Amino acid sequence: MREPNRNRGSIFVTGTDTGVGKTVLSLLLMRFFLMRGRTPFYLKPIQTGCVDAHDRDSDARFIYEHVPALAGKDPGDSVVYCFRSPKAPWFASGDEAEAIDPRKIAAYAERKRSAHSHIVLEGAGGLFVPVTEDVLMIDLIALLNARPILAARAGLGTINHTILAVEALKARRLDPLGIVFIDSGPTETPEQMVAENIEAVERFSGVKVAGTIGRIERWSEPGQECYRPLARLFGKR
């Protein structure tokens, strides 16, 4: 059976877990495309755990503060739904009696897609986080006709979580663009462990690990080494 066509300019940054580094990867993708003369747009379809898109806990605010091309622009333009409770979207929206309509998200993304080279979509939590009572985050990826990039931790435990996530994507006929390890913990993961994790994940998932992004000291000036995994993913695009 042939894989469904996917819009190559629509990238969905998903993760093996919450807090794994999706926003960091989204920031680097935005900066990477802009450095190449492209016109990307960041979109966080659903944000939970903050008051609005301007709140200090807003992912969109973080992106807008650290991408020079977005200076002075409104981060609210990059969020479709925002809820105060730090919960799965289904329950966070229920707390505020506001139903999430995935079709509204898809329509908004489509409007932005027509004016930008890439749409960098960032999910909330992992693949099986419920968006509504009958829609999961993995379903939203398919609805948005996007290609997923999987953010995963670099250290202990990532083999199991990453392979499971890839299996879930493939079961829905969602072909990952690649996997990026994020090593942002309090201590750096030993190089041998990272190498072994990459070897195991690639061998058993069949998906390449593009590289590892380490701790970033200055968000407004990430080192060039941070972009190497992205160059491997998009070098010929």
| Residues 118 and 41: beta-carbon distance below 8 Å | yes
What's the confidence (pLDDT) of residue 9? 86
5 confidence band (pLDDT: 50, 70, 90): very low
Collapsing DSSP to helix, strand or coil, 15 comes out as strand
Higher pLDDT, 84 or 6: 84
Q: What pLDDT, in 10s, does the model give residues 195-210? A: 999 999 999 999 999 9
Q: What pLDDT, in 10s, does the model give residues 216-226? A: 989 989 999 99
Collapsing DSSP to helix, strand or coil, 139 comes out as helix
| Residues 63 and 27: beta-carbon distance below 8 Å | yes
What's the confidence (pLDDT) of residue 185? 81
- As a whole number, the mean pLDDT across the chain is 94
What's the confidence (pLDDT) of residue 3? 41
What's the confidence (pLDDT) of residue 2? 36
Of 22, 44, 87, 208, which residue is the catalytic one? 44
How would you classify residue 132: left for phi > 0, otherwise alpha for psi between -120 and 50, otherwise beta?
beta
Give yes or no: 22 in active site: no
